[in-house]
Chain A
Amino acid sequence: MKSLAELAAIRDKMKNKVAIRDSETGTRIVVGMATCGIAAGARPVLAQFVEEVANAGLSDAITVTQTGCIGICQYEPVVEVYEAGKDKVTYVKMDVDKAKRVFAEHIQGGRIVTEYTMDNK
């Protein structure tokens, strides 16, 4: 059974690790979570990115955040990737499998998955 004591232990471990989250050099993955995004399946896409970042142990370098309506409801779920010094990449009509591929190939491998990008539609 999960206990608050266990939560306290996690807290202590985290306090010891110095936060070196750098918003200048870090990567930001932004998932549209307005009504249109949620209805189209954004919640599991967001959860997948969060899980990938955690599994890869990259939570200091990569943040996953939520935003409202990006204005292209017909393309939801929409995911934007911001990397320092690079143009924003907008992925459209995302799902869990596409999120896995974008994480492996783009976020970790540095190769944009053009099949899923906005300009390709």
Chain B
Amino acid sequence: MKELSLNILDVTENSVSAGAKNIEVSLIEDEKGLLTLTIGDNGCGMTPEVVKSVIDPFYTTRTTRKVGLGVPLLKMAAEQTGGSIDIKSEVGVGTTVTATFDTKSIDFTPIGDMVSTMTTLIMGAPDRDFEYIHRKPGAEVTLSTLQLREVLGDVSLGEPEIIAWIKDYLTEQYNNFGGTN
């Protein structure tokens, strides 16, 4: 994918499909240029066999079904920088995908437009709660739909007017963030 934010959109859609009520997306950059991406959910979870087949689509067993390329693409993006991917999952509890990246590597895919990724996710699943944080030394961007929902009452997060506000809210925070990788 051209931007890491597109991988993040794609893999976070899996959490939505898994029926998660709460989804956490976090991007933490340290002073050495190590970036840690975490996508956590309380969706249906996966058995260890399914986790294996999701990471490596060529690993198949009788019980696993056809799987996509979303996670392998994220894995590739991480590994080509010297980073790695890890999936912790438990059936009935949820899943956490963690990927690390060396942002100084020439093969690091730029993070890109996280504002579009978050608004696309919220538009597509306005009934779920997203906790978003992007932090680097000295700056951070955050969004909690739970907090917005308290203000909104029964007005949906997916209304175009609300999405437009969220877009501006995040864009403003990114203007003070000092650019992303």
Q: Which residues of A contact B (CB under 8 A)?
A: 1-2, 4, 6-8, 10-11, 13-15, 33-35, 38-39, 43-44, 46-47, 50, 53-54, 59, 64-66, 68-69
Query: A8–B149 Cα gap in the complex (Å)?
Result: 10
Q: Verify if B31 is at the interface (C-beta below 8 Å from A).
A: no
Looking at B39-47, B87-95, B134-142, B163-171, the stretch in contact with chain A turns out to be B163-171
Q: Is the CB of A8 within 8 A of B160?
A: no
Query: A38–B120 Cα gap in the complex (Å)?
Result: 11
Q: List 21 A-B contacts (CB under 8 A).
A: A1-B172, A4-B147, A6-B165, A7-B148, A7-B162, A8-B151, A10-B161, A10-B162, A14-B162, A34-B68, A35-B68, A35-B70, A38-B1, A38-B6, A38-B10, A39-B73, A43-B6, A43-B9, A50-B163, A54-B160, A68-B17
Number of A-B contacts (CB under 8 A): 77
Query: A66–B123 Cα gap in the complex (Å)?
Result: 9
Chain B contacts for A44, CB-based, 8 A: 116
Q: Verify if B13 is at the interface (C-beta below 8 Å from A).
A: yes
Among B1, B13, B161, the residue within 8 A (CB) of A33 is B13
Q: Verify if B155 is at the interface (C-beta below 8 Å from A).
A: yes
**Interface residue tally for chain B (C-beta within 8 Å):** 33
Q: Which of B7-28 contact A (CB under 8 A)?
A: 9-10, 13, 17
Secondary structure at the A interface, as helix, strand, loop or mixed, is helix
Q: Which residues of B contact A (CB under 8 A)?
A: 1, 6, 9-10, 13, 17, 68-70, 73, 113, 116-117, 119-120, 123-124, 147-148, 151-153, 155, 159-165, 168-169, 172
What is the distance, in angstroms, from A8's C-beta to the closest C-beta of chain B?
Answer: 5
Closest residue on chain B to residue A69 by CB atoms: B68
Decide yes or no: A11 and B152 within 8 Å by CB, A2-B172, A38-B1 being known contacts: yes
Chain B contacts for A14, CB-based, 8 A: 155, 159, 161-162
Q: Is the CB of B172 within 8 A of A15?
A: no
Query: A2–B160 Cα gap in the complex (Å)?
Result: 16
Among A2, A8, A34, the residue within 8 A (CB) of B168 is A2
